Structure 1
Amino acid sequence: MAQKLIGLIGGMSWESSAEYYRIINELVRDRLGGLHSAKCLMWSFDFAEIEALQHAGRWDDATIEMIKAAQSLERGGADFLLICTNTMHRMADEVQVAINIPLIHIADPTAERIKTAGLKKVGLLGTAFTMEQDFYKGRLINQHGLEVLVPNDDDRKTVHRIIYDELVQGEVKETSRQMYRDVIARLVGQGAEAVILGCTEIMLLVRPEDSAVPIYDTTAIHAEAAVERVIAA
């Protein structure tokens, strides 16, 4: 079987991009057996440059960089693309318009898993951009009919700080895990039937046993969606 070539826009951060690479290759090996691994190309950003654009609100400049990366992967022969971060799906529509190959949006396979499980009200954890702006919540609500809860102001600041000050730098602290447990518990107290780990680094910190309700790891789900497309080739 001739595999499709996966294009990965990564480096945001490389910690989670490494997990994408590992998960995709493990799944291809498990599905195809033997010595099989995934055919993929990765464009890896210097995250310091992207983070500076994010926090300066220079989203138009960030969009230009994302489009350049996507077009480079398309020219390299990628059959479809993944953006290996939730936050940078803020410009997913603009990226899709600029290329001629499919982009698998990270929110879609996650939402499909949740709906298949018969759940409707979900808590969302992620960067402040993902939790507060409409590009992600709006897709879950308007395209998938989910009800989305986000943490309160203080909890959003805590979740965001831990992502940027610790997780993207490879730091996993037990004190931060407890903080996330507390945030999740408060979302469950508001009626969340599940929690979306809507930042690709959170899976480095939060485990299923840290939540009283199911957690949906967008990194693993997104990677599996890519492999499903490869296997269907």
Structure 2
Amino acid sequence: FIDEIRNSVSIPVLSILEETSSFLKKQKVKSVGILATSTLLKSGIYERTLKKQMIAQVKPDNYEQEKIGKVISNIVLNRHANKDREQLLKIIENLEKKKVRHVILACTDLQLLIPKNSKIKIYDTMKIFAEATVNKILE
């Protein structure tokens, strides 16, 4: 649908998916764990976009994905607690056991719970997108 939007307006339209995958490629990332809603992961949209940059996607298992969904719901409902942060950290640790060294937060709510001092490099897709937008404006 991004192409339809781009074709219908006369201004540049950036894609958070494209900007994130391009950023990861520049960082020489070969595979990345994705923390996102189940709906986003099931759509395959990130997987297809990352594949264009030759980046493999590593997803949490179904049980962990269910936990991520509950954590996101708690954040949206402003009911998140330390246990939610602990669950996310455990999921990230499990991704690390799968040799994942990079994770993207592909949900705007997860940034609230992720600490900055993780062994794994964690990328905030909203930050990547915001920086790409500023760079485009300054071109």
TM-score (norm 2): 0.89
1:144 aligns with 2:53: yes
The correspondence of residues 71-86 of structure 1 with structure 2, limited to 5 A, is none
C-alpha distance in 2 between matches for 1:93 and 1:173: 39
Q: Between Structure 1 and Structure 2, whose CA radius of gyration is higher?
A: 1
Aligned residue number for residue 63 of structure 2: 154
Is 2:21–2:49's contact at 8 Å kept on the other side of the alignment?
no
CA RMSD, Structure 1 to Structure 2 (Å): 1.7
Please list the CA deviations of residues 35-66 of structure 1 after superposition, one character each: whole Å capped at 9, or x if unmatched: xxxxxxxxxxxxxxxxxxxxxxxxxxxxxxxx
Structure 1: runs of 5 or more not aligned: 1-90
Task: Write out the 4+ residue segments of structure 1 that deviate beyond 6 Å after TM superposition.
Answer: none
From the superposition, tell whether residues 223 and 188 of structure 1 become closer, same or farther in structure 2 (CA, over 3 Å): same
Per-residue deviation, 1:184: 0.8
Structure 2: runs of 5 or more not aligned: none
Greater relative contact order, per chain length (Cα 8 Å cut-off, separation 6+): 2
Aligned residue number for residue 219 of structure 1: 126
Q: Report the number of matched residues.
A: 139
Structure 2 SS opposite 1:103: coil
Per-residue deviation, 1:176: 0.3
C-alpha distance in 1 between matches for 2:102 and 2:62: 20
Aligned residue number for residue 81 of structure 1: none
1:114 aligns with 2:52: no
TM-score (norm 1): 0.55
Aligned residue number for residue 36 of structure 2: 126
Is 1:172–1:204's contact at 8 Å kept on the other side of the alignment?
no
C-alpha distance in 2 between matches for 1:154 and 1:97: 40
